[in-house]
Amino acid sequence: MSRLPVGTFTSPTTPGTAARNVALNICKLDLFCLRPPQPEARVLSVPSAPQLLADPSEQAPLHMTPQGIAIREINSGRLVTLTREDNALRVNFAENKAPVDIVYRQVVWASCNTDNGVLEVAYLRRKKKVGALALARLEGKPEGLENTIVSQWAENLMTSVYEDSGVQRRRRLKVLVNPYGGVKKAVAVFVKTVEPILRAAQCSLDVTHTTHNGHAYDIAKDLPLDFDVVVTVSGDGVVHEVMNGFAHHADPRKAFSVPIAPIPTGSGNALFLNLLGHKHGFDAAEAALNVIKGKPMKVDVFSLTQDGKRTISFMSQALGLMADLDIGTENLRWMGDTRFMVGLLRGVIQFKSCPIQLSYKLAESDKVKMANDLRARRSGKADAPPASTGESGPLPPLVNLPDDTDGWTTYDKPILYVYAGKGPFVARDYMAFPVSLPDDGLIDVMAQPASSRKEILSAVGGAAKGEGYWQPGLHYVKAHAYRVKPLAPKGHLAVDGEIFPFQEYQVEVHQKLATVLSPYGYYAADFAARTPTAPPRDKMRKGNEH
């Protein structure tokens, strides 16, 4: 039996006679050209991959076999084999018995330097099962292979990890770093963790460090629209600025088609939590990987009109206790998003009612149905709304006039707080809108009656899992639009975590106007929907109430 030179191997998936019926066409297929048998060459041994036989009658079909390459690492001198599997790159170090599989999503680059023949592969992996991702590089020289063959192997790997997954290579990024947000670690996180990963993926970076409030707004307002992604290294505040900058762009709709990808370094990182989930919601390397490999996902945003001014809101509007826990904890930003839970507990102790009148244009109020609709969408049993058409043009017009009362419902109980928004998580410890969908054209609105401290505190324990949704006393609806009229001169209103005047306002939804990057195509929130006890029906007035 002739042996192969170190540097190439292919392994049959079916042993025995099934592997004896295929001609040797390897040089014409995929990425390997095997050299003629050489008596002195060493056999490349790979676990679970039988050596390739020189007799053409004993070869398995190439398209049915994993294909690999062996390199001698430059720094360590150890032999490493890299095998392209169906969905992963298998890395096998000579001294290890068990190979390591790197899913293609975590492989960010592969190339061969045609001058010196060095193969470089960059990927992300976890050093621990529950640890954060970290960038890893392999650089080595294949033995016994021409550079053109190694280059073709690297190119085929790149095709598997990018084009075959529907992802563009070498994304052009506009990066906004907020040095002053949250716990003021944005610059360090970007330089030490995020930037090396983005550059390993050969992304093009245009980086700006924001210097003042409104800086991100100004940049987004005049942003050239040839960038593939806007990356925000901050909290939700910079995302709010970017979206409002897009709203005032010369071509708002086209600006909103540029995806936004957040890197979580602020005190509030709700958007990233909703995109990556609670498990990875504060992993900067996961965020960087989402910038490289995430796919565009259309999301609804809101127009908030107040005193003749129109503002884009992407996350939430809060009044009463929920606004107090945000605005009232500005001095606790050093705590990160834990400050919101501290504010909630403080607000429950004070237990002040919210002097407002709440009205909305109802779409759905059945909690069980809303939870079932969520499950149907996640399981693929319900179709997503059709994609928006047309990428250029002005903002969508407002369709709900302030004096319109037809079809509106007024909630008439004393209220502790009103919270409305899009996206399940508003903080790491609080899944406020567990049945929220990214593109249903609706806003989730909750109103908590001023009942008792015990009832409010009973929901705190399960707040991170959205269990408060099932509280019988919590009034939770999906609406096309809603409006609030203050009944007292003093109070707090927070929009996407920013302080707004405590004045009358109205909110309506713009379906699929904005774009974010997502690894899943849906909100990554695990809401353990269950059948609740039958809640009491709320007393409401319908019709012309204003």
Q: Region 279-302: what's the mean pLDDT?
A: 94
Q: Region 148-155: what's the mean pLDDT?
A: 93
Q: Region 497-502: what's the mean pLDDT?
A: 93
Q: What is the dihedral of CA 96, 99, 105, 109, to 10 degrees?
A: 50
Amino acid 463: pLDDT = 84
Q: Is residue 477 over pLDDT 90?
A: yes
Q: How far is CA 419 from CA 97, 119, 272, 316, 348, in A?
A: 54, 54, 19, 7, 15
- CB-facing half-sphere around the CA of 346: CA atoms within 13 A: 15
Beta strands per DSSP E along 212-352: 229-234, 260-264, 295-306, 309-313, 316-320
Report the C-alpha gap between 143 and 494 in whole angstroms: 63
Retrieve residue 481's tokens.
């639009």
Give the type of residue at 285. A
For residue range 301-334, what is the model confidence (pLDDT) as tens digits?
Answer: 999 999 999 999 999 999 988 887 766 655 556 5
Amino acid 382: pLDDT = 64
Sequence-distant (6+) residues with CB within 8 A of 430 are: 340, 341, 344, 463, 464
- 317-509+520-546: which CATH topology? Tumour Suppressor Smad4 (2.60.200)
Q: Is residue 526 over pLDDT 60?
A: yes
Winning range, highest mean pLDDT, from 58-67, 70-79, 220-229: 220-229
Report the C-alpha gap between 278 and 286 in whole angstroms: 12
Report the C-alpha gap between 188 and 481 in whole angstroms: 41
pLDDT band at 279 (very low <50, low <70, confident <90, very high): confident
Amino acid 31: pLDDT = 34
- CB-facing half-sphere around the CA of 514: CA atoms within 13 A: 28
Give the type of residue at 147. N
Comparing 107 with 450, the larger pLDDT belongs to 107
Amino acid 334: pLDDT = 58
Amino acid 95: pLDDT = 72
Retrieve residue 114's tokens.
């045609």
Neighbour count for residue 463 (Cβ, 10 Å):
18
Largest CA distance in the chain: 93
| Range 170-293 classified under CATH 3.30.1600.10 | no
Q: Region 101-108: what's the mean pLDDT?
A: 97
| Range 15-165 classified under CATH 1.10.287.470 | no
Q: Per DSSP, what are the bridge partners of residue 320? A: 417
Q: Region 224-241: what's the mean pLDDT?
A: 96
Retrieve residue 240's tokens.
């709010």
Report the C-alpha gap between 370 and 479 in whole angstroms: 12
Name the residue ranges covered by the structural domains of the chain: 15-165, 170-293, 317-509+520-546
Ordered alpha helix ranges (H), 436-535: 453-458
Amino acid 343: pLDDT = 67
Report the C-alpha gap between 49 and 399 in whole angstroms: 64
Amino acid 19: pLDDT = 36
Q: Region 146-150: what's the mean pLDDT?
A: 90
- CB-facing half-sphere around the CA of 37: CA atoms within 13 A: 9
Comparing 389 with 209, the larger pLDDT belongs to 209
For residue range 35-63, what is the model confidence (pLDDT) as tens digits?
Answer: 333 333 233 333 333 333 333 333 333 22
First to last CA, the chain: 91
For residue range 186-209, what is the model confidence (pLDDT) as tens digits?
Answer: 999 999 999 999 999 999 999 999
Amino acid 378: pLDDT = 86
For residue range 16-33, what is the model confidence (pLDDT) as tens digits?
Answer: 433 333 332 333 333 333
CA angle, residues 214, 216, 222, in degrees to nearest 5:
105
| Cβ pair 542, 409 in contact under 8 A | yes
Q: Region 258-285: what's the mean pLDDT?
A: 90
Nearest C-alpha neighbor of 96 from the set 75, 78, 83, 84:
78
Comparing 352 with 296, the larger pLDDT belongs to 296
Q: Region 176-195: what's the mean pLDDT?
A: 93
Q: Is residue 535 over pLDDT 60?
A: no
Winning range, highest mean pLDDT, from 62-66, 281-285, 380-384: 281-285
User: What predicted TM-score, i.e. pTM, was given to this entire model?
Assistant: 0.82
pLDDT band at 253 (very low <50, low <70, confident <90, very high): very high
